Amino acid sequence: MPGPTSHDWERVSDWMGTLADLAGAAGLLGWDRETLMPPGGAEGRARQMGTLAALRHREVVRTDIGDALGELAARDDLDDDARGMLRLATRERDRALQVPEALVREISEACSRCVSAWADARAADDFAAYAGPLGLVVALKRREAEAIAVGEEPYDALLDEFEPGARAADLEPVFADLRARLTPLVAAASERPPVELPPREWSAQGQMAIAHEIARLVGFDESSGVIAQSAHPFTGSPHRGDVRFTTRLMPDSPIGSISAVLHELGHALYEQGFPAEVVRTPLYDAPSLGAHESQSRFWENQIGHTLAFWEQIEPAMRRLFPEAMSGIDAGLLHRAARVVEPSLIRVEADEVTYNLHVVLRFQIELALIRDDLQVADLPGAFADGMQELLGIRPPTDALGAMQDIHWADGLFGYFPTYTLGNLYAAQLAEVAEAELGGLERAVAEGRFAEILTFMRERVHRHGARLPTRELMRRATGRELGSDALIAHLERSYTSPG
Amino acid sequence: MPGPTSHDWERVSDWMGTLADLAGAAGLLGWDRETLMPPGGAEGRARQMGTLAALRHREVVRTDIGDALGELAARDDLDDDARGMLRLATRERDRALQVPEALVREISEACSRCVSAWADARAADDFAAYAGPLGLVVALKRREAEAIAVGEEPYDALLDEFEPGARAADLEPVFADLRARLTPLVAAASERPPVELPPREWSAQGQMAIAHEIARLVGFDESSGVIAQSAHPFTGSPHRGDVRFTTRLMPDSPIGSISAVLHELGHALYEQGFPAEVVRTPLYDAPSLGAHESQSRFWENQIGHTLAFWEQIEPAMRRLFPEAMSGIDAGLLHRAARVVEPSLIRVEADEVTYNLHVVLRFQIELALIRDDLQVADLPGAFADGMQELLGIRPPTDALGAMQDIHWADGLFGYFPTYTLGNLYAAQLAEVAEAELGGLERAVAEGRFAEILTFMRERVHRHGARLPTRELMRRATGRELGSDALIAHLERSYTSPG
């Protein structure tokens, strides 16, 4: 126990444990929904998850906890971890208390309706049918942000939910710089000769087996983990000792599945590395989505895009796909994994163009919340932005402004964390490069345990003790910026092959 | 909504929904623990399930609900369903309130410790190491029973948890009669020539596939259901629209797996047939474990022991096990599924001897709670009982009084529900026999939909509206008794073949 024993501390400690357990239980219900639940369970599961969320909210705002937190805040004999826990727990509690319950319900219902409207409107490519519900969500999220009143402007309060401490004004110059430096890179990288695997059949069984092989290779502990399959890959953990991720299986190429495995393994290794001594407290977590994404992107793009990685798994690939692999070697797989081409859909974008998709969404959602852009003008702004940033124009709104679920679901401030993850991943890789005598060489020599130890030391073992920017400052000795990512992309994509 | 709208009703209705959702969520955590959770998750899961149980208990005893229930109880404008819900909800609440929290915690801890002691003692065949912890559990459960004060004697309060309305004094003559009539039957059935399948390998894949085939055949809706695998088969449902069961896979015979599938399908069909109009209330349930078991035993023993059933699945068996099935036909499978032999282990016992295992346990646990038997004398009483009832004596206590987990876990009053299920199943089959023009003929003609409709009408659609005895009285026109079961066993096991 990190703090001195007392009735208040025990009460708060139990409370934090209950909140962690409830969040984990809800996570497992979600995992099951995506991996196993039959279609008939949709309505019942939605309601059940709603009940758990409501119970958790009631726990968060429990009156007696406010008193105990107040008593503890006045104490001067708490250690750093105890103070960290109280800070994060109080932060969540304050956010919950500052938004009136009526508004919470309004937002929840508006988002629910907007997600349905979005699904229908996207299917029919009818933005007009989506504009009304989305307008309401934007207006309500702005009211929520004003109630929370964190940062310099409403958008900050929304961003702060996913990336505590981040502010729009700090991100804008970073993203503008990134944008300016990416544009020429996209042009150069797109000129490289196209690479395609010959048409083959890649068995589902083989793809699941290679997922397990890669997991073992990089140090994922399957005695405390599960690997499964779902339409959209994701990682979750109901509680310590049980970290799960899924991969997607696509019969005509193994690349998408292996990239997904590496990405989710990054998240999963992070979760397995959280500090045991603060389990069932808010410190047993990543400090932000950007920090979490730094781990997935590190494995997906920094490790997964080395030739050495594909050489490492080539023997297993030959064993698991004896027919499909004929005439294919690590070099070809490596090149196929790194095709760059401006495309319409963010989630299918390559490593070079990806961040431009995010830059566009950041600009647009910032303008929406600032009231500088009206929902009616969103499709045009989105298409113009795609034209400007990537040189292609979505032929429909379904392939443009309506491609993501995030805004419909009220998730403003979420998109930038993807790019923050890419920036931090590149900065971490730069340090690992120096420290391990070359990252590609470490991979070639199979020193995955060293890579994992590096990340455990620099990132995982700290849990949520430090805000992300501070955590990364200490881990890399750098301020957040695009130098490392741009250097990585230049190295990878402006040399031939 | 079954009752008139009012603030009190809304509050109680929400409360019942929350309790149902929490129970379902805990059920899913348990399902996942048995089917997917990695070993490292054991501790975290136990704690998380503890948290959910504690939260649910806190919900059950919420003060404001007591007031609302009181207001509603005084109303005379509630319909039958509303009154039924309130009756069952109040019953659970009263049970929870009558047992002091300190005693609840004491029992929970004592059972936890006793289960651990039991596992160790069983492995070491050392009853003495188990006697102390078990003695404490018995004493605490007796105190709990006295606090609940339902029925004529402490045992009734424990039995009432699993079989509401049942009383020891009512069951004793039924079980005595059953015992007297079973003993000669066992002797006769054991004399039949032994039947064994030739040694073959039955693939796990084939066993899972036949589970799906049988599920489809009998009318299980897989669009609202899941079938998986676990060490011990079980059925659960996190909420309406998602009913799950597992089967066990054993490579050297398909009989155990198919019996398990039929048994669990009985439970699962029941859960899929609960009345939609009372979802998320206490009426959306079986009235008792005995009622639930009547459904599993009906499919396992009444349908699964007809020759016609094996003839129905023979083509699928040939398709799924082309090699293993060579030289094996429906007749042989049918005979192999009905081997009778007195044996030591209850869960492996055949249909004829099974109830004698239960009769023995009922006698013993009744004597323990009545203080007519001391824990120190349990092994001897158990071995003597086995000798007397089944003519075999357990060579060790591990194979005798320590074979089941139930008592260690404080589950006194649970065993008799297994036999109640068998009795009701036979009574239901007798009525179905008359109504469907012969049950074996209905199966032979593939009229499974008619069988299911019969059960939906008589049992499933009533949910927990009626106490089990009343439900079964209406469904069968009979009082609880052993005539139907004995007649079924005589028909099945005293004719040759």
Give per-residue pLDDT as tens, B122-139.
Answer: 999 999 999 999 999 999
Q: Are B217 and B448 in contact (CB under 8 A)?
A: yes
* pLDDT for residue A105: 85
| A453 vs B47: which has the higher pLDDT | A453
Q: Do B38 and A225 touch (CB under 8 A)?
A: yes
The partner residues of A244 in beta bridges, in order of sequence, read A226, A236
**Nearest to A347, CA basis, from A246, A232, A266:** A232
Is the pLDDT confidence value at B2 over 80?
A: no
- Cα distances from B139 to residues B102, B149, B311, B490, in angstroms, run 15, 15, 52, 41
Task: For residue A243, count other CB atoms closer than 10 A to its CB.
Answer: 27
Is the pLDDT confidence value at B416 over 90?
A: yes
- Pick from A236-240, B30-34, B285-289, B365-369: least confident: B30-34
Is the pLDDT confidence value at B361 over 70?
A: yes
Write out chain A residues lying below 8 Å of B225, CB-based.
Answer: 38, 40
Active site residue A71: no
**Residue A45 near chain B (CB below 8 Å):** yes
* pLDDT for residue B189: 85
Q: What is the mean pLDDT of chain B?
A: 95
Is the pLDDT confidence value at B71 over 60?
A: yes
- What gap in Å lies between CA A495 and CA A272, rounded to an integer? 36
* pLDDT for residue A2: 47
Which of A44, A54, A242 has its CB closest to that of B241?
A44
* pLDDT for residue A1: 46
**Nearest to A463, CA basis, from A262, A240, A259, A298:** A240
* pLDDT for residue A496: 57
Residues of B labelled catalytic: 264
Is the pLDDT confidence value at B4 over 60?
A: no
Closest-approach residue (CA) in chain B for A28? B29
Q: What percent of chain B has pLDDT over 90?
A: 92
Which of A41, A54, A222 has its CB closest to that of B242?
A41
- pLDDT 10s digits, B209-262: 999 999 999 999 999 999 999 989 999 999 999 999 999 999 999 999 999 999
Q: Do A40 and B221 touch (CB under 8 A)?
A: yes
**Residue A48 near chain B (CB below 8 Å):** yes
pLDDT beneath 50: ranges in chain A? 1-2, 497
Mean pLDDT, to the nearest integer, of B149-168? 97
Residues 146-205 in B contacting A (C-alpha not used; CB under 8 Å): none
Residues 326-345 in B contacting A (C-alpha not used; CB under 8 Å): none
Which of A41, A221, A279 has its CB closest to that of B224?
A41
Q: At B5, is the pLDDT very low, low, confident or very high (cuts 50, 70, 90)? A: low
- What is the pTM for the complete model shown? 0.93
- pLDDT 10s digits, B464-478: 999 999 999 999 999
Q: Do B18 and A55 touch (CB under 8 A)?
A: yes
Reported for A118-124, long-range contacts at CB under 8 A and 24+ positions apart, including other chains, are A118/A402, A118/A405, A118/A408, A121/A402, A122/A398, A122/A402, A122/A403, A123/A398
Q: Do A242 and B45 touch (CB under 8 A)?
A: yes
Task: Provide the number of CB pairs (under 8 Å) joining chain A to chain B.
Answer: 130
- Cα distances from A320 to residues A315, A323, B191, in angstroms, run 9, 9, 54
Q: Do A51 and B18 touch (CB under 8 A)?
A: yes
- pLDDT 10s digits, A97-133: 999 888 988 998 899 899 999 999 999 999 999 999 9
The amino acid that residue B197 corresponds to is L
- Distance between start and end Cα atoms, chain B: 55
